[in-house]
Amino acid sequence: MDTQAILDILTPKQLDYVTYRMGTDADAHAWRKAGYNKKAWFKLNENLRAQMTDAAVSLARDGKLRAIRLYQDEMEGAAGRIVRLSKEADNENVQLKANLDILDRGGMVAKKEIEITSGGNEIGIRTIEVIKDYGTQDDHED
């Protein structure tokens, strides 16, 4: 049975469960919010409970996919707006932030110095870069 057919046969209380279940992974939370106690929930036909849960999961997934498609449709326009801001914004800070965002999204992030201490002794960034580039210190011990 498809999702719409399931929704068409549900009572308002069962529809409440589907609605609440769409927003949570916790089945018990959803049936409690819909007004079921444990005894009443498990008194429902097991197949119907499974269909209601499947409908909720399907609707939630479909909603997320629609949102992702909407975001993807807007990405090109957003990128264009960031480029426009980087060139035309009246405020230099806005231009700088837009340019940094473009570089960051393009993978051209400036190296950041990281200060790490161990037992009060400072560990130099050169050591960290060597480990990052050549493996762990254990790999290169004499």
pLDDT (tens digit per residue) in 10-39: 888 998 888 888 887 788 889 999 999 999
**Amino acid 59: pLDDT:** 86
Both 123 and 101 in a single domain?
A: no
Both 97 and 139 in a single domain?
A: no
Per the CB < 8 A criterion, the answer to whether 36 and 92 are in contact is: no
**Amino acid 91: pLDDT:** 92
Both 97 and 127 in a single domain?
A: no
**Amino acid 37: pLDDT:** 92
**Amino acid 127: pLDDT:** 45
Provide the domain count of the chain. 2
**Amino acid 5: pLDDT:** 84
Which residues of the chain carry a pLDDT beneath 50? 127-137, 139-142
Structural domain harbouring 117:
111-142
Both 42 and 10 in a single domain?
A: yes
Both 10 and 80 in a single domain?
A: yes
Both 97 and 130 in a single domain?
A: no
Both 42 and 66 in a single domain?
A: yes
Both 121 and 141 in a single domain?
A: yes
CA distances from 21 to 8, 27, 80, 90 (A): 17, 6, 38, 47
